Chain A
Amino acid sequence: MRGLATPTAASSSQPGRAGLVSRRPDGPIAWLLVGLLACGGASQPAAFPLGEPIPLGILELTVIRMEAVPSPPPVPLSILHAQPGDRVIVAYVEWDGLEGLAEQDRFYFVETFLEDRLTLVDAVGNEYRALSALTRPMYANSDPRGMLGGTVPRDWVVVFHALEDERDFALLVEHPEPREGEPEVARVELGTLDVP
């Protein structure tokens, strides 16, 4: 797991903006999209519905749903506690693929990919980068090591800290090396957050 992200300069006037990349749609993903469009032939993010596998080369990722982390969180991790003004949101995902790799290597790859390549976007265009990725058993506090019985769980949660006033979100998944027919960026609409 990684530590909290450093708030950007644009957000430094307000407390607790860990994970917020930009308050306007000009964060790294937005610039990536501008770059893609400027390169002639590039396309908008490819839309994927919840539950549909996204082909990402050696990995296939399916976004299941999102939820607000309850208070207190299911497992006592600092990453699951938000600063005032923020809300902790987790996206549930499942992975497949990574054939021929040792279990430990699969773990490192999945954890790294989920933390580096997923971005949460709210309805006004604010982008929030992933702060941590946990296996479902870790999140459920049933396996602190993350490797249940030596096998990497297929289901994970990805942790974001977002502005608590926002309710509608989408998830962007960046593909570092798209093959024929695979998206450079996939967009999954997560819907409206159900806040208890």
Chain B
Amino acid sequence: MPRTGSRPKRRSFPLPPLFFGSMLILSCEMGASGGSACEGLSDRRMGITREEYRPCAGEIIATLDALRLELERIADGDTAALSTARSISRELRALIRQTGIEADYRSFRPGVVFERWPDGDLRAFNGYAFDATFQYSTFLTGSFDRTSSRLDEGVKAHEGARDAYRRFE
């Protein structure tokens, strides 16, 4: 179904409190991307710096960008883009998993997040990137209707991640 309406403008908004249902989508996939800049981060227990995280965050942003391109094609009716989109989505979820963000949130221990990511800009990036990944994955799986609002939510979070990334790029 073609997506109607204008694309959402980039704007800042509070960190999305989204963690429900993420396991349904994100836990389904697990092949790790080999050789990514995010490898090893999930083993870190304390004080990840922006210098250490920058390459991985850049890779996540680039993958979000690539995925968004395919999702917008799908929203415009190009079902041939599904296969490529699914492949990129798997890569993205593997990157997120390699950062350890998913395990942080699953622990429901805020202390874990503050210890591993003491820099607030990195925490903000993680929250938006996690949300964008979830929203894009949900749109792609078609668990719900592939509505423009679902994609728009993903784009909003995606742009939030980009804004946060620029603060430590």
Does A177 contact B46, Cβ atoms closer than 8 Å? yes
Does A176 contact B114, Cβ atoms closer than 8 Å? no
Does B120 contact A104, Cβ atoms closer than 8 Å? yes
User: Which residues of A have CB within 8 Å of B111?
Assistant: 112-113, 115-116
Q: What is the interface of chain B, defined by CB distance below 8 A to chain A?
A: 44-47, 49-50, 110-111, 114-115, 118-120
User: Which residues of B have CB within 8 Å of A59?
Assistant: 47
In the bound complex, CA of A177 to CA of B47 (Å): 9
In the complex with contacts A115-B111, A116-B111, A109-B118 CB distance below 8 A: yes
Neighbour of A100 across the interface among B44, B46, B49, B110, CB < 8 A:
B49
User: Which residues of B have CB within 8 Å of A57?
Assistant: 46-47
In the complex with contacts A108-B114, A113-B115, A116-B115, A176-B46 CB distance below 8 A: yes
Closest to A98 in B: B118
- Give B91 Cβ to nearest chain A Cβ, in Å: 28
In the complex with contacts A112-B111, A115-B111, A101-B118 CB distance below 8 A: yes
> Is A168 an interface residue, CB under 8 A from the partner?
no
- Give B39 Cβ to nearest chain A Cβ, in Å: 17
The 0/1 profile, CB within 8 Å of B marked 1, for residues 86-104 of chain A is 0000000000001011101
The 0/1 profile, CB within 8 Å of B marked 1, for residues 152-196 of chain A is 000000000000000000000001110000000000000000000
- Give A156 Cβ to nearest chain B Cβ, in Å: 15
- Give B1 Cβ to nearest chain A Cβ, in Å: 44
User: Which residues of A have CB within 8 Å of B45?
Assistant: 176-177
Does A108 contact B118, Cβ atoms closer than 8 Å? yes
Closest to A107 in B: B114
Does A109 contact B114, Cβ atoms closer than 8 Å? yes
Q: From residue 26 to 65 of chain A, which have CB atoms closer than 8 A to chain B?
A: 57-59
Closest to A109 in B: B118
19 contacts between A and B (CB under 8 A): A57-B47, A58-B46, A58-B47, A58-B118, A59-B47, A100-B119, A101-B120, A102-B119, A105-B120, A106-B118, A109-B114, A109-B115, A109-B118, A113-B114, A116-B111, A176-B45, A176-B115, A177-B45, A177-B46
Does A105 contact B118, Cβ atoms closer than 8 Å? yes
In the bound complex, CA of A177 to CA of B45 (Å): 6
